[in-house]
Amino acid sequence: MELLEAMKARRSIRKFKADPIPESIVTQLIQAAQLAPTGSNIQPTRFVVIKSDAVRAQLSEATPLPFVSQAPLVLACCVDLESLGGMSTRARELKEAGAFVDTPLDKMDLESYAKRKPMDPAVAEAYLRLNAAIALDHLTLRAVDLGLGTCWVMMFNQEKVKEILGLGENYNVVALLPIGYPNQSPKARPRIELSQIILKEV
Query: Residue 130 CA to chain centroid, in angstroms?
Result: 9
pLDDT at 115: 67
What pLDDT is recorded for position 119?
84
Q: Tell me if 36 sits within 8 A of 175, measured CB to CB.
A: no
Give the pLDDT confidence score for residue 91 in this predicted structure: 78
Threshold 0.85, pTM exceeds? yes
DSSP code for 10: -
Q: Are 65 and 153 spatial neighbours (Cβ–Cβ below 8 Å)?
A: yes
Amino acid residing at 26: V
Q: What is the residue extent of each domain of the chain?
A: 3-197
Q: Cα–Cα distance between 124 and 81 in angstroms, integer?
A: 8
Per-residue pLDDT of the chain (202 residues; tens, 9 = 90+): 899 999 999 999 999 999 999 999 999 999 999 999 999 899 999 999 999 999 999 999 999 999 999 999 999 999 999 998 887 788 788 888 888 888 887 777 767 666 677 888 899 999 999 999 999 999 999 999 999 999 999 999 999 999 999 999 999 999 999 999 999 999 999 999 999 999 999 9
Instruction: Decide yes or no: CATH 3.60.20.10 for domain 3-197.
Output: no
- In DSSP notation, 162-191 reads HHHHT--TTEEEEEEEEEE-BS--PPPPP-
**pLDDT number for residue 109:** 74
Cβ(177)–Cβ(77) below 8 Å? yes
Backbone angles phi, psi at 13, to 5 degrees: -100, 130
In this structure, the chain runs to a length of 202
Is residue 179 within 8 Å of residue 29, measured between CB atoms? yes
CA angle 128, 3, 193 (to 5 degrees): 80
pLDDT at 89: 84
Alpha-carbon distance 78 to 116, whole Å?
26
